[in-house]
Amino acid sequence: MKRISRVKMTLLPLILTATICFCSCGVREQLQKTTEPTAAETVAAFRDVNPETTTRPEETTTTQQPDPTTESGRAETTRRAAAKATTKRALPDERDADTPVTVTGVETLKADGKTVIYPIEAKKTDRRWPVISWANGTGCPTWSYTALLEALASGGYIVIADDDVMTADGSTQRDSIDYTLRQNDDPSSVFYHKIDPDAIGVCGHSQGGRSCFNAAKADSRVRCLVSIAGSPYVEEARGVRVPSLILTGTNDLIVLSSQWCKPSYDAVKGRAVYASLKGAVHTTCMTHPEKVSGYVLSWFDACLKHDAKAKQVFADGGRLSRDTAWQDYQSKNG
């Protein structure tokens, strides 16, 4: 037993180092060298958002609209309309399966170590918006999830992420929730009276997936969670009662489904759904977010917007259980 313990102590730092290097370097290289359209390009194609736009802290990025008074502007408007008519959103809800996307864009605000991505409509309407608090994976900066977070925001959510890359205990996600609620009470904030405090979910990748379970157990404001290739200990998942979507990949060699994801599903006491994406590796949600974003959005729609059709996506016999791109679907306490 002592020898086994020593072996574990030797391997764990190596695994952690490999994960950090893979996230921080490997993903950047993949996004730069891939010959296929990148995930960011795929998202931009249906949302007319330039994924290469960068901002300084406390600066807001806004989707630019064509000038309808100029010939070039009218031509650009026609081009975008044609692109929307032929490009479908990767949302696995049957009501949208054959419906072209209608997207108005998102904005990004960076301040106080937080990145907030939100629909442009949030500035134009008096409605209150649901919130997704995001947690990064080990050593993975927020920018590496930009395409995924923008896709979630375009679904009608205020998405908040923190710069923290060691998020396991859930405190960062809880702090992000505190931050959004302070903004909700601040008359000078763009989010003043725009946050729905009763519609808050958490989502994260890898160590960030582990964070989701800890945040949900410690914070009653969390109404549901999505763990993508998450690595919680069974003890951390045990007793979680909020609706939990646990997604993994068949080719993930960093967070093995059999050792982390499936046991956490078994330990959850509340409503839970588990599925494994065929061929997906640990960073698929970063390089090809369109492969998971649809189901993530449907889960939040079901849990935070109480959308009946979205709930059916995850029911036995529903869309996810029949999707041939996924396997090992399981559902309980529905």
Place domain 2-332 in its CATH homologous superfamily: Alpha/Beta hydrolase fold, catalytic domain (3.40.50.1820)
Amino acid found at 12: L
Determine the Cα–Cα distance for residues 212 and 207; give it in Å rounded to an integer. Answer: 9
Strand segments (E) across 257-333: 272-277, 326-332
pLDDT of residue 17: 36
Domains in the chain: boundaries: 2-332
Spell out the per-residue pLDDT of the chain, length 334, in tens: 444 443 333 344 334 434 444 444 444 444 443 333 333 333 333 333 333 333 333 444 444 444 544 555 544 444 444 333 323 333 333 334 333 334 469 999 999 999 999 999 999 889 999 999 999 999 999 999 999 999 999 999 999 999 999 999 999 999 999 999 999 999 999 999 999 999 999 999 999 999 999 999 999 999 999 999 999 999 999 989 999 999 999 999 999 999 999 999 999 999 999 999 999 999 999 999 999 999 999 999 999 999 999 999 999 999 999 999 999 999 999 8
Question: 158-162 and 106-111: which strand pairing?
Answer: unpaired
pLDDT of residue 104: 61
Separation in Å, CA 307 to CA 95, 173, 275, 299, 310? 12, 25, 21, 9, 5
pTM metric for this prediction: 0.75
Question: Which residues are registered as beta bridge partners of 155?
Answer: none
pLDDT of residue 71: 53
CB 313 within 8 A of CB 319: yes
Question: Which residues are registered as beta bridge partners of 222?
Answer: 200
pLDDT of residue 63: 42
Burial 262-296 (b: 16+ CB within 10 A, else e): bebbebbeebbbbbbbeebbbbbbbbbbbbbbbbb
CB 105 within 8 A of CB 150: no
